[in-house]
Amino acid sequence: MSFIFTVSPDFTPAHLSGWYIFNTWLQKETGLALHLELYDDFQSQRDAIQNDTIDLIYANSFDAAILVREKGFLPLVKGAGESDETVIAVPDESHIIDVSELNAGVNIAFTNNPDVKVLGMMMLEPADLGVDNINTLSMDSYILVAKSLLKKEAEVGVFLAAAYDGLSSMIKKQLRVLVRSEVNVIHHSLMIGPRLLEQSAAIQEALLAMNADVKGQGILNDLGFKAWEKSDKEEMEFMIDLMEGLAN
């Protein structure tokens, strides 16, 4: 039987090959037939989640609520020392120095990644900005958010910090960070679905030991991680409650 593994669409393109190599490694370590299915956008992936297509997922914090509370998924691991932060950036030539200088009616580019959008809106509060007094430009990827700034279609861009950091140096030198969040408790998690629950201990054990050999460490480096560390349901429930609180 083949199982479907997927990754939140907010990963940086530089890590694309790393996820395919990781999938191959995990198949060899566990003996499971895992097929890596990547989706072009968040909605396509959420449709697959709702249709019970997914068995293993590297999920963002927003989707964790549906996965845990509606679909019976459990967290296995997270990137050691990793947290999901949000960056608000402007073109380098912008006269804006501080978020508080932004005015109502500003054009702001987002992706449809809800957890980053929630944090981004919270970070815009010093300028008294909310969904009712900004112009939202919805982009399919963080690269397109950056391009919207460079093309002057948007005045402000909201990024997952890891995605911003993963932009090419050529793009980043034309942008400037106004503010970067430091929440520290929001993170992506590798989560396992009902059809694979019997294999959860074996998969978790393999992942936690991944950095113990040169090959495993090399694959982790390609993903931007130093190691995996255990993630449990209690920690996950706290993060879900936090995200729901920030969204309300």
Tell me, what's the pLDDT at 30? 94
Tell me, what's the pLDDT at 214? 94
Is 50 in a helix, a strand, or coil? helix
Are 239 and 187 in contact by the 8 Å Cβ rule? The answer is yes
Are 3 and 195 in contact by the 8 Å Cβ rule? The answer is yes
Tell me, what's the pLDDT at 247? 67
Tell me, what's the pLDDT at 241? 84
Tell me, what's the pLDDT at 237? 87
Tell me, what's the pLDDT at 175? 97
Residues of the chain with pLDDT under 50: none
Element (H, E) at 38: none
Q: Which two tokens stand for residue 10?
A: 């907010």
Q: Sketch out the chain's domains with CATH numbers.
A: 2-82+185-247 (3.40.190.10), 86-180 (3.40.190.10)
Tell me, what's the pLDDT at 99? 95
